[in-house]
Structure 1
Amino acid sequence: MKINRLIEITVLLLKKEVIKAKELAERFEVSTRTIYRDIETLSMAGVPVYMSKGKGGGISIMEDYSLSKTFLSKEDKESLIIALKTLKATKYPEIDSAIAKISGLFKDDDEDWVQVDFSHWGSNPNENQKFNRIKEAILKRKMMTFNYINSRGEGSQRYVEAMKLIYKGVGWYLYGYCRLKENFRIFRISRIKELVVNDEVFKRRQTPLMDHMEYEETQKETKRPWVTLKLRFKEEALYRIYDDFDAESIVKNDNNTYDVTTSYPEDEWVYGYILSFGRKVEVLEPPRVRGIIANRLKEALKIYNGSL
């Protein structure tokens, strides 16, 4: 208790110019004599606190004193601010208060050099509410009901024990136990619709290792083998290529095209992903997927030719 009180007293002194001993005593519900002993302890520990008498007097700390010089390096401070900003982006409670306290510790009001926002451009504000309801269900261990669209376009109602929020790649996912499938599942949050947090409280299950579970999920959910794709992109697609693939896997050709070899579970998502590049991509391998993409482009062209 004394250590916690000493730390909080130091934080308060860094944020305010002068504090009365009586004010601190009332805050911590101790005697003023105890506060005087705390100030003496801080002074002996090297914290430059001092006391002044008279009108406007009280307990103060040296104006230029900064804990960052004592405990943390500049890099440590920046890493801490990034971590807190990331939590703030997830709407985690009371992070604003934590950031303010950290800024007070470092005598630094310029924590706005970084901003973290996981929402998509143009996203619906309701998406944030969905995220918050999922977070509530995890923390309070409440059951959730929602409609879900899988990667094959199939819809189903799920009854889920929410375990964990995962940010992977460019999207948020929910990891939990699905009572419909009687197994652990990963759900992409953007595909969760009509979410309801129920009053039923569940007992948290022992969860399997994530890597093993993810591999089995891919096999069970898609029921399709993985396909290795060789894709050739035009230079206009370069910005997306570097968004989606490691630089080591991108090979530049002499004619300013770029080849990428990658593997995915073969399903509707893969076809849609390739088609999203339009004329900026060509499927080189395998021939079967190349044919599927060509046929879909022909079908799309029929639609537009019919409207001209």
Structure 2
Amino acid sequence: MPLSRHFEIVYMLLHKKKVTADELAEHFEVSTRTIYRDIDALSAAGIPIYSSRGKGGGISLMEGYVFNTSLLSEQEQNDMLMALQSVATATIPQVEEVLNKLSRLFKKDMGNWIEVDFSPWGSQNSQRQLFTLIRNAIITNRVIKFRYYNVAGEQSYRSVEPAKLLFKDKSWYVEGYCLNTESHRVFKISRMKEIAVTEISYEPRTVVASTDTKMNDLLHTIEVTLHISAQGAYRVYDEFAEKTITQKEDGSYTVTAQFPVGNWLDSYLLSFGPLLIEVSPEQVRTRILSHLETMKRNLNDPL
């Protein structure tokens, strides 16, 4: 994240007056060559920063330089802090650090006005750390290995070059190049188990666009019409686009939408329980009734 590094370099120089390239390289865990590139970028942006060699040398700001916060309006300062606070909800440590320093610099306390937690209710802390684990693998170009369950419940072991974290329809996915299938794939994080970051590095590949037709788990879809009771309004409006919903005179709803074919669809429809009044086409309805008969037999004849 070069922008945050550039800001922190200036922040450090304002408080320490002078530091060496080696000290900065160690602090940011980058090469001294990268630090000198940062210095050149800051100079080009108009920051009076320079370096001197030899004993007592180092990197410093021009004598008397002060960062003028009045260059930013009150609204611009607030917008900057609020934007960083929004990004910080993804638990990115570098952003949190920059946010704290800018808050002190602007003499503002925005408060914790936003919190985002993508983990399920009651989940363990280890689950919440998956986002950071995978993000770090992407940033450092490290292959990840994991056990995976597809929509049919089939288990496989995968080695993947992760390229992107993708949030779509209430779920997190990892998009990357699967070394097992030698193709670009998308994996739902909730179905990834025993995730481990390896020491195997890779050169980033061109990422295939993430669209519904490219997501391997949602490759085959079918149009399904659901009739849902009025008591199911909370799910109807939570889970479906408004253009797919029609409310009937009795308060119930019909929804017509595209769904992925397979076991996932069956499980999803069964999750509506008594809220689901009717479903079509007939092949989907027949499958649901078959599952219900199996469940009834299992519950009446427990092992």
TM-score (norm 1): 0.74
CA RMSD of aligned residues (A): 3.1
Shift of 1:106: 4.7
Aligned to 2:227: 232
Paired residues of 2:86 and 2:114 also in contact (CA < 8 A): no
User: Alignment partner of 1:72: what SS?
Assistant: helix
Aligned to 2:63: 34
Is it true that 1:292 corresponds to 2:287 in the alignment?
A: yes
Shift of 1:140: 0.9
Q: Letter of the 1:34 partner, please give it.
A: E
Q: 1:89 to 1:110 in 2, by over 3 A?
A: closer
Aligned to 1:180: 180
Aligned to 2:142: 142
Paired residues of 1:67 and 1:105 also in contact (CA < 8 A): no
User: Alignment partner of 1:256: what SS?
Assistant: coil
Aligned to 2:115: 115
Is it true that 1:215 corresponds to 2:244 in the alignment?
A: no
Q: 1:284 to 1:128 in 2, by over 3 A?
A: closer
Measured in 1, the distance between the counterparts of 2:245 and 2:181 equals 38
Q: 1:252 to 1:106 in 2, by over 3 A?
A: farther
Paired residues of 1:229 and 1:283 also in contact (CA < 8 A): no
Is it true that 1:272 corresponds to 2:267 in the alignment?
A: yes
User: Alignment partner of 2:76: what SS?
Assistant: coil
Is it true that 1:153 corresponds to 2:148 in the alignment?
A: no
Q: 1:209 to 1:237 in 2, by over 3 A?
A: same
Paired residues of 2:89 and 2:114 also in contact (CA < 8 A): no
TM-score (norm 2): 0.75
Q: Letter of the 2:288 partner, please give it.
A: I
Measured in 2, the distance between the counterparts of 1:73 and 1:7 equals 17
Shift of 1:245: 1.0
Moved more, 127-136 or 229-238: 127-136
Measured in 2, the distance between the counterparts of 1:245 and 1:190 equals 21
Shift of 1:89: 3.0
Q: 1:85 to 1:270 in 2, by over 3 A?
A: farther
Is it true that 1:166 corresponds to 2:166 in the alignment?
A: yes
Q: 1:7 to 1:111 in 2, by over 3 A?
A: farther
Q: Deviations over 1:27-84 (max 9, x none)?
A: 78658x811xx35x95xxx94xxxxxxxxxxxxxxxxxx9443x6286x35xx52x43
Paired residues of 2:165 and 2:175 also in contact (CA < 8 A): yes
Tell me the number of residue pairs that the alignment of Structure 1 and Structure 2 aligns. 259
Unpaired runs of 5+ residues, structure 2, are 1-5, 20-48, 50-58
User: Alignment partner of 1:94: what SS?
Assistant: helix
Unpaired runs of 5+ residues, structure 1, are 13-22, 48-65
Q: Deviations over 1:159-209 (max 9, x none)?
A: 111111111111111011001111000000111111121111111112223
User: Alignment partner of 1:209: what SS?
Assistant: coil
Percent identity between the two aligned chains:
30
Paired residues of 1:89 and 1:118 also in contact (CA < 8 A): no
Shift of 1:98: 2.1
Paired residues of 2:161 and 2:176 also in contact (CA < 8 A): yes
**Match for 1:257 among 230, 252, 256?**
252
Shift of 1:226: 2.0
Measured in 2, the distance between the counterparts of 1:5 and 1:139 equals 20
Q: 1:24 to 1:241 in 2, by over 3 A?
A: same
